[in-house]
Amino acid sequence: MTSKTSEIEAVFFDIGNVLVEFDGGLVLRDLAWAARRHPLKIARLFWSGRLIDRIERGQILPRELYKRLRDEMEFEGGFPMFEKIWCGHFRLIKKSTRLLERVARRKPTYLLSNTNRLHYASIKRRYAFPKKVKGAILSYKLACRKPEPAIYRTGTKMAGLKPGACLFIDDLSKNVSAAKKLGWNALRFTTPETLEKDLIRLGVL
């Protein structure tokens, strides 16, 4: 939690588990089923060689990832099947997205998220909230990820503001702490109800 130290002029929302729930375990399960492999073998592929990190930095493109699954894990489906599984386990957190829409009517509002090309494209197709924001700072476009300072600095540059005029909302403590170290106001997301109270307390709503 943060205290009100100066007027907040812009608000930045994380996406995963703040605006949209994502179940990576179900993705691994479905990929394993399609490859006729144990889910742990699929998990090892993703966590070995910093694969998730490289995907979210945009260093591994969707078709490269698909090719690895096909070649190394004998994934039997085509690319459309892979894409359907990869993007198939999102669930909108409606109360959070309604808060974003309220904030966006009062303050410049942005997305700031570790994500990948396919996930963000799917989110943009399925949900309205990406159209409500002024801009999006996305790891795969910048080749950097939270909690690295560069991604937050891109946010302040995009907004044209100093860190103290910005508020960042994320579900992970390490990402919130990193923002605070750079001078941002920051909140750790737990529930939409708690977030609403914090936004009112900070004068954002």
Strand partners, 169: 13, 187
Q: pTM score, two decimals?
A: 0.92
Q: For the chain, how many structural domains are there in total?
A: 2
If you average pLDDT over residues 159-180, what whole number do you get? 98
C-alpha closest to that of 59 among 149, 141, 121, 119:
141
The answer to whether the CB of 36 falls within 8 A of the CB of 134 is no
Q: What is the pLDDT of residues 114-142, one digit of tens each?
A: 999 999 999 999 999 999 999 999 999 99
* In-domain check, residue 1: no
pLDDT of residue 6: 65
Whether residue 158 is found in the same domain as residue 138: yes
The answer to whether the CB of 22 falls within 8 A of the CB of 16 is yes
Which residue segment(s) compose the domain that 197 sits in? 10-21+91-201
pLDDT of residue 179: 98
164 exposure class (CB count in 10 Å sphere: 0-12, 13-18, 19+): middle
pLDDT of residue 36: 84
* In-domain check, residue 154: yes
Whether residue 44 is found in the same domain as residue 136: no
* In-domain check, residue 5: no
